[in-house]
């Protein structure tokens, strides 16, 4: 059973309630058990002083080293600002049809944009990003349906526009890919 589960690695300080909401949503969406683990990874070596951000590509590459557990998919949840060399920032990163994905809550917080802190909104955005990146690991590409969680989002406002669910087409594609 375990090898057919998703591990959510918390790489930073997250409240249990916060992680619990993500677990429930991911389980509901992918119909797979989701467990949480605390990650004790030292992320300092991934820091790029020139950009004052953390290298998402390298974190994604090394993430599987942080757990001894068996899993089908692994998602690292971070609190720090992530980048990849070509982009100024990323909300998350995954490799299509690979096992691992990462998401950071750093740029999902309302406060970063000078707005009032909103914990529910942060949870909602994080859930959507986690499902989105996990979707890529299951082989789903970006979707043009405005409300589909697999729609590409480059701003938080984009994330707010979509739902936390796969659209019918992505759902059936997901089911197809599971066979």
Partner 1 sequence: MAEKISILIVDDEESVRDSLLNWFIEDGYHVECAENAKKALHLLEDREFDIILADIKMPGMDGMEMHRRIKALNRDSIVIIMTAFASVDTAVQALKDGAFDYVTKPFDPDDLSHLIRNAAAQISLRTENEALKSRVITLEDIDDLIGKSEAIKNVLKQVESVAQSNSSVIITGESGTGKELVARAIHSNSSRKYFPLISVHCGALTESLLESELFGHEKGAFTGATFNRKGRFEMADGGTIFLDEIATISPKMQIELLRVLETKSFVRVGGNREISSDFRVICATNRDLKSMVQSGTFREDLYYRLNVVNITVPPLRERTDDIPLLVNHFIRKYCTSMSRDMITIEPAALKQLEQFEFPGNVRELENMIERAIVIGNGKEIKLKDLPMGKEAISNSVESLEELEKRHIELILKKYEWNISRTARALNIDRVTLYNKIRKYNLKQKE
Q: How far apart are CA 16 and CA 136, in angstroms?
A: 26
Work out whether 93 is an interface residue with partner 1 (CB under 8 A).
yes
Q: How far apart are CA 39 and CA 46, in angstroms?
A: 15
Active site residue 133: yes
Q: Point out which span in 21-29, 33-41, 149-157, 159-167 binds partner 1 (CB under 8 A).
A: 149-157
Report CA-CA distances (Å) from 138 to 68, 111, 155: 21, 32, 23
Least Å distance, CB 111 to partner 1, is 20
Report CA-CA distances (Å) from 25 to 6, 41, 141: 12, 25, 20
Number of residues that bind partner 1 (CB under 8 A): 20
**Which residue of the set 27, 70, 119, 133 is catalytic?**
133
Two tokens at 12? 């930073």
For partner 1, what does the binding mask look like between residues 48 and 77, x meaning CB under 8 A? ---x-----x--------------------
Q: Is the dihedral of CA 151, 154, 159, 162 positive or negative?
A: negative
Work out whether 96 is an interface residue with partner 1 (CB under 8 A).
yes
User: What is the footprint of partner 1 within residues 105-144 (CB under 8 A)?
Assistant: 136, 141-142
Least Å distance, CB 144 to partner 1, is 8
Report CA-CA distances (Å) from 128 to 3, 29, 55, 62, 163: 24, 11, 22, 23, 7
Among positions 18, 46, 83, 174, the unique one binding partner 1 when judged by CB under 8 A: 83
Q: Give me the residues that bind partner 1 (CB under 8 A), please.
A: 51, 57, 83-90, 93-96, 136, 141-142, 152, 154-155
């Amino acid at each position: 059973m375990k090898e057919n589960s998703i591990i959510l690695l918390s790489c930073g300080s997250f409240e249990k309630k916060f992680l619990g909401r993500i677990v429930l949503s991911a389980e509901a969406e992918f119909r797979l058990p989701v467990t949480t683990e605390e990650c004790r990874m030292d992320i300092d070596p991934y820091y790029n002083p020139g950009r004052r951000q953390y290298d998402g590509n390298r974190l994604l590459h090394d993430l599987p080293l942080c757990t001894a557990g068996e899993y089908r998919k692994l998602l690292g949840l971070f609190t720090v600002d992530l980048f990849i060399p070509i982009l100024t920032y990323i909300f998350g990163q995954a490799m299509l049809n690979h096992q691992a994905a990462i998401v950071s809550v750093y740029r999902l917080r309302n406060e970063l944009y000078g707005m009032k802190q909103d914990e529910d909104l942060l949870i909602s955005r994080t859930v959507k990003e986690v499902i989105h990146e996990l979707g890529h690991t299951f082989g789903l590409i970006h979707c043009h349906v405005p409300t589909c969680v697999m729609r590409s989002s480059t701003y938080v406002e984009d994330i707010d526009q979509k739902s936390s669910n796969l659209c019918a087409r992505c759902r059936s594609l997901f089911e197809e890919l599971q066979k």
